[in-house]
């Protein structure tokens, strides 16, 4: 059932939300997608009379602050943190009538692409539990893919909404930087972080963004731009649309099935009236995307999380001095991946390294965005497969992260974070019973075009309201 249909079914709101809550609990042992369950009973007593999401059950990534409800960001060091306020998006969702039933699993502090680093254990893919969901918003993606909720909040710093959407066969939206307030979101990298979300259809994605978007004076990076009625504007007619294929990514595909699915879809888009061209980025810049991301993100994360020390925030470990308490708390509180990233970030922030590493990474970021702007001068959209393959197996560590394939094909979506432009993944096809996604990136604040092209793809594939068969 679509969100709009749920809202019309006013009498079924309580039953629907309670069933979603019970289903999430029943599936927890199998999928491990939830950190904290939120009983919807009190929320149901206080539903607004009207609202675009009235009586719709939803899940929140566990880096979204919820007043009086545990918010861990997937990290042991925050396993005792209960916020005293709601994030702005929580307020907006409640005002629209949405009902929170779960705080979803995530990679620790949103750092990672597997959802294997959460302190409560890995989140499992509902299409195949031997495979990962992708991260860092994997728990939210899995709850939507398994049909527990029609919409869930995630966050996206590199591709943390859009890659799990590909692996889980759903729609994953990262709007324009500033389109949605980040007030109350535990940060990772301030210049790259975006609030994003998951749905099972473009129509639901339009409704969700209308609810979430808008100016917030408590987030000075949020935009004053008017929020359109995306649902009313939705139009899948592609005549006159110019779509640029991301040539470097297409050329880098090694999976023949992914390449065929993508090429066939491009032919179908052309048949619907779109003009298809190919745009190739400078190859050196393509290979620089991952190291540029690591430097900027980890430097900003190191600064943002310096207060997680067991004194100001976090679980406190014993020690004979303030310094020893901090060292023990951070050593035990953070997993190995986080400690590694903080080392990288600290090194990049050393005074003698800032110009040589951090500032240089910022300059490379600007060059990458300039190339994207060059592409979007003549094209409405840049398009490419979201990944070379279906979701990797949980125990598969065979990928060479320095190979040309990985550097180009698996990391290109970070261009949406470097630029801040809207980017979205939608289902494209299947391999061995598991989904593959396609990614679209458009001009700043042009979510309307992104949804239009996404809707056309949905009509071609027939993958609207796709749900994994929960066994």
Catalytic residues: 61, 136, 160
Q: Which of 63, 6, 68 is nearest to 42 (CA)?
A: 68
Answer for the pair 430, 408: CB distance below 8 angstroms, yes or no.
Answer: no
Cis peptide before 214 (omega within 30 of 0): no
Rg of the chain over Cα atoms, rounded to whole angstroms, equals 21
Q: What are phi and psi of 407, to 5 degrees?
A: -60, -35
CA atoms within 13 A on the CB side of 410: 23
How far is it, in rounded angstroms, from Cα 65 to Cα 432?
Answer: 38
CA distances from 286 to 115, 252, 267, 411 (A): 25, 11, 26, 9
Q: Which residues pair with 37 in a beta bridge?
A: 102
Give the N- to C-terminal CA distance of the chain in Å, as an integer. 20
Answer for the pair 150, 204: CB distance below 8 angstroms, yes or no.
Answer: yes
Torsion of CA 365, 369, 372, 376, to 10 degrees: 170
- The angle that helices 359-378 and 283-304 make with each other, rounded to 10 degrees, is 130
CB neighbour class for 232 (10 Å; exposed up to 12, middle 13-18, buried from 19) = exposed
Answer for the pair 162, 185: CB distance below 8 angstroms, yes or no.
Answer: no
CA atoms within 13 A on the CB side of 380: 18
Q: Which of 243, 260, 247, 255 is nearest to 286 (CA)?
A: 247
- Give me 195's structure tokens: 């609030």
CB neighbour class for 337 (10 Å; exposed up to 12, middle 13-18, buried from 19) = middle
Answer for the pair 186, 71: CB distance below 8 angstroms, yes or no.
Answer: yes
Residue 317 has a CB neighbour count (10 Å cut-off) of 17
How far is it, in rounded angstroms, from Cα 143 to Cα 137?
Answer: 11
Answer positive or negative: Cα dihedral of 127, 131, 133, 134. negative
């Amino acid at each position: 059932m679509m969100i709009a249909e749920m809202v019309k079914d006013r009498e079924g709101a309580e039953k629907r939300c309670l069933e979603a809550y019970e289903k999430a609990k029943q599936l927890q042992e199998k999928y491990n997608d939830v950190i904290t369950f939120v009983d919807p009973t009190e929320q149901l007593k206080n539903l607004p009379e009207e609202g675009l999401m009235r009586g719709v059950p939803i899940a929140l990534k566990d880096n979204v602050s919820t007043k009086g409800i545990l918010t861990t960001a997937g990290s042991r060091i925050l396993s005792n943190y209960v916020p005293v306020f709601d994030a702005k998006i929580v307020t907006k969702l409640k005002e629209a009538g949405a009902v929170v039933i779960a705080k979803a699993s995530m990679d620790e502090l949103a750092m990672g692409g597997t959802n294997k680093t959460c302190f409560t254990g890995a989140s499992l893919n509902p299409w195949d539990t031997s495979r990962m969901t992708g991260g860092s918003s994997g728990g939210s993606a899995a709850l939507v893919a398994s049909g527990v909720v029609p919409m869930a909040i995630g966050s996206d710093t590199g591709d943390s909404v859009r890659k799990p959407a590909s692996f889980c066969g759903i729609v994953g939206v990262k709007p324009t930087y500033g389109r949605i307030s980040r007030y109350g979101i535990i940060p990772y990298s301030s210049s790259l972080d975006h609030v994003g979300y998951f749905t099972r259809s473009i129509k639901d994605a339009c409704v969700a963004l209308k609810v979430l978007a808008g100016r917030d004076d408590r987030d000075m990076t949020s935009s004053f731009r008017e929020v359109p009625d995306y649902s009313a504007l939705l139009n899948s007619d592609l005549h006159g649309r110019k779509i640029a294929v991301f040539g470097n990514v297409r050329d880098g595909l090694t999976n023949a099935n992914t390449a065929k699915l993508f090429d066939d879809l491009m032919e179908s888009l052309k048949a619907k009236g779109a003009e298809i061209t190919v745009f190739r980025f400078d190859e050196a810049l393509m290979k620089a995307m991952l190291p540029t991301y690591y430097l900027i993100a980890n430097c900003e994360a190191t600064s943002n999380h310096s207060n997680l020390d067991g004194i100001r925030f976090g679980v406190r470990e014993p020690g004979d001095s303030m310094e020893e308490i901090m060292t023990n708390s951070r050593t035990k509180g953070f997993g190995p991946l986080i400690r590694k990233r903080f080392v990288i970030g600290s090194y990049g922030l050393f005074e003698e390294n800032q110009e040589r590493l951090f500032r240089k990474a910022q300059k490379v970021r600007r060059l990458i965005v300039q190339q994207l702007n060059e592409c979007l001068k003549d094209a409405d959209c840049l398009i490419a497969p979201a990944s070379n393959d279906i979701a990797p197996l949980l125990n598969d560590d065979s990928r060479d992260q320095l190979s040309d394939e990985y550097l180009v094909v698996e990391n290109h979506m970070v261009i949406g974070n470097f630029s801040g432009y809207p980017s979205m993944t939608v289902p494209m096809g299947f391999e061995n019973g598991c989904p593959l996604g396609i990614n679209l990136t458009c001009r700043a604040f042009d979510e309307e075009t992104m949804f239009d092209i996404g809707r056309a793809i949905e009509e071609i594939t027939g993958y609207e309201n796709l749900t994994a068969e929960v066994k």
